[in-house]
Amino acid sequence: MTTRTRLEPVAAGQGMTSQRVRDRLVDRLREIGIRNENVLNAVRTVPRHLFVDEALAMRAYEDTALPIGHSQTISQPWVVARMTEVLLQEGAPRKVLEIGTGSGYQAAILAALGLEVYTVERIGDLLRQARKRLRQLGYNVRSKHDDGRAGWAEHAPYDAIIVTAAAPALVAAMIDQLAVGGRLVAPVGGASSQSLIQLTRRADGGVDEEVLAPVVFVPLLSGTLD
């Protein structure tokens, strides 16, 4: 199954936020191994410079993580593209849960692919900013201010779950909310060593796990902040 990227009206940008600069980022991602053209087209379409502070807009299309406040970051574009590509390997999932909304950029990429997106963020200020950006860009994303470690049971099961912060081990609540055959992609590990993990839930209730790549993410914390 393939999925078509839904093109949204976006701010075109000028200079270092122009379409040409976005195209260079896409070319770079293709060079370092991202193969799914729908994912690459979503990266080309979603205006990453609108998901960072205006002072950092000139760096928005570098392949690097950037600070977004509250000791959080917007993930490196390669990481966003790779995690998204993994979710699409067996065809597009219908319903996706994201743990850790952050800036809203990963949710926007998923929504631009036409997926039904649910996202949970523990930091209220970040969520309010993300909601505003997503709304202005026309992306239909359902969001919740809550402890992401609990997932979002009300709308479970999910065909895919993507986690954008690292825990020492995968959280049981997230696995429980994954549909049979569903796929979870998450960074696992501590501050000194983390790996991107892909987990697939089997019909017998067990899981198959695969290590994809070394990564660096902020920690997955419990509780909520306003």
What residues act catalytically?
75
Residues 6+ apart with CB under 8 A from 178: 157, 158, 160, 161, 184, 199, 201
Longest dimension (CA), the chain: 53
21 vs 152: CA distance, rounded Å: 36
Q: Which of 189, 208, 225 is nearest to 89 (CA)?
A: 208
Q: Tokens 């009300």 appear where?
A: 154
Q: What angle, rounded to 10 degrees, do the helices at 19-31 and 77-87 form?
A: 60
